[in-house]
Amino acid sequence: SGSKLLCAVVFLTSLVCSACSPKTGFVHSASLDGDGRYNIKWGFDESTISFEAEVETKGYIGFGLSPTGAMASSDIVIGGVLNGSPYLLDYFTDSSRKVHKDPVQSYQLLYGRENDTHTVLAFSRNIQTCDDNDKVITGSTVRVIWAFHEEDVGASGPVYHGMNRGRKSLRLLNPGTSSSIPAGTAFFDLQNEKVHVPDKETTYWCRIFKFPEMKRKHHVIRIEPLIQKGHENLVHHILLYQCDSNLNKSEINREHECYHPNMPDSFFTCETILFAWAIGGEGFTYPPHVGMSIGTSIDPVLVQMEVHFDNPSLQKGKVDSSGLRLYFSPNLRRYDAGVIETGVWVSLYHMLPPGMQDYITEGHCTQECLQESLNSEMPSGVHVFAVLLHAHLAGRAIRARHFRQQVELPPLASDDQFDFNFQEFQPLSQERLILPGDSLITECRYNTKGRMNMTWGGLSARDEMCLSYLIYYPRVNLARCESLPEITGQLKFIGVKEIQEPVTTWPFVIKSPKKFSNLSFTEAMDKYRWTRKRGKEFNEVVRKLPMNVRCSKIGQDEWSIQGMIVSPPELKSEQTSEDVLPCRNVSESQFESFLTVFLAACLLLILQTHLHL
């Protein structure tokens, strides 16, 4: 009887502990600084997220969640180990960056320790705490701020951290693919060789490479960036395109500024996107059943690597050798992967008025394009397993929306806290089937409040884009599925009546009315007196305009729907932007813990009574 009672006590104790204590399975990790002095691990379940910070200090550690990446209006936790005892306090900052102790202590200390060089601190909180001073954690980008000091927190509070601080954007609840691949996996590098970066704001640099010769089919299973140290903010994105395999061998290793009037003709054959990396991304690992095929007659042989250098301070003397590393294996997966570029066709016809707090652009991958291409190539549909959402500096939020028979399904991907400096492929928690006749909308929200002139669709970081890159399987002959609103309706809004014909210049020139006569359409748009009210009305007009469809195949071929004018679909139902967990406050959590303990005690009492009998 005594042994049975002891077993029951041990079992119930473990039951209570597991119910009341957060799980500490840290399956994700990141280095928050460039030198590896501040590293975190984290894990989460349906309601709780737990962190472990390992920092090169014997003083306090600061960790926070910020709406902008700055100190103001942030949710902060500060802790350390003092005289062998770990401590942790929940703080918040107001709009003036003043630090306040949070009346509701939402963070729970799990453990802490330190040695001669480092402090380790583990803590947890509810994903939704219902505390107005805490930041709600969602699947969107989270701007993590960090700091540390050589001294612990004293009676008067934490000492100012000085230069030991920084920020890093992460997706805590959707953290990307694992970098784990089998040891010894073969790889090859595509790297520029000492490119002298021009001292201008935006440069796109292109170079043609030849993939290694393969005697049989292989699969690329991981691609990661090779960014030259110190150039993390200079290299904004890298795109990899498939080129015409019949190009002359003399084109191999040829390099030139992309989109330049003197760009080699061979560069125009490189149009099919194979991979996209953008600033802040850590690389991408394909799922176990999918890979990028190389080595067969229809696979890429010659590729073009396009590197976007973003140099707003016009630095001189920068020499860059960044690129990509591709890991490949002879052990074939079941499916070949493909990439579809969807969203707004990059053009000056994509325009944003100045001074707008919230301006919405929609790029359509139309029902007509997916009907024609998938019916011909894969009537059973394709499976999307990762999405990269892409915009520039005015971007604030992006959604890749999915419709079937005009009824909206959950989004393929979304980011309500978009960060220009953190763009990487988001793996989908569940693969999504895209069927013939489905449609997609890439929806981008912009803020142009600080701008005095129009923002144009274009290549510069100060221009704008609205794109989503979908990685899917099995590979089909569809490279781009995009749209662009008709220009006529946009010009009509500002009162343009006639343009000069024949069109001999770009941007084309306005003929009437007189106030816009002999101005290019871009100059006319800038001259128009924009107000927030007019900008909102313009936005509503543009979203209802007929669209020019882009529906292109791999290479330079097109589906027949390309260039056709269609109207935006009439949607039968729509979904809200992002799901937020229902509010669970501290008292509710405490009550659940109390209830668990109470029930366990009752069960223990029943067992004791039974054993005595």
Residues labelled as active-site residues = 204, 390
CA torsion sign for 581, 583, 584, 585 is positive
Would residue 163 be called left, alpha or beta, if left means φ above 0 and alpha means ψ between -120 and 50 degrees?
Answer: alpha
Alpha-carbon distance of 220 to 243, in angstroms, equals: 18
Instruction: Specify whether the CB–CB gap between 406 and 572 falls below 8 A.
Output: yes
Bond before 474 cis per omega within 30 degrees? yes
Tokens of 201: 């704001």
Q: Is 486 exposed, middle or buried (0-12, 13-18, 19+ CB in 10 A)?
A: middle
Tokens of 259: 């989109």
Orientation angle between helical segments 586-612 and 2-20, nearest 10 degrees: 170
Alpha-carbon distance of 76 to 547, in angstroms, equals: 46
Alpha-carbon distance of 342 to 361, in angstroms, equals: 13
> Residue written as tokens 């000085």?
162
CA torsion sign for 392, 398, 403, 406 is negative
Tokens of 312: 């707003």
How far are the Cα atoms of 63, 223, 279, 577 from residue 232, in angstroms, in the given order? 23, 17, 7, 31
| Cα dihedral 43/45/50/52 (nearest 10) | -20
Bond before 507 cis per omega within 30 degrees? yes
Strand duo 335-336 + 290-294: pairing: parallel
Instruction: Specify whether the CB–CB gap between 34 and 132 falls below 8 A.
Output: no
Alpha-carbon distance of 61 to 273, in angstroms, equals: 43
DSSP class of residue 281 equals: -
> Residue written as tokens 């701020």?
145
| Residue type, position 362, single letter | E
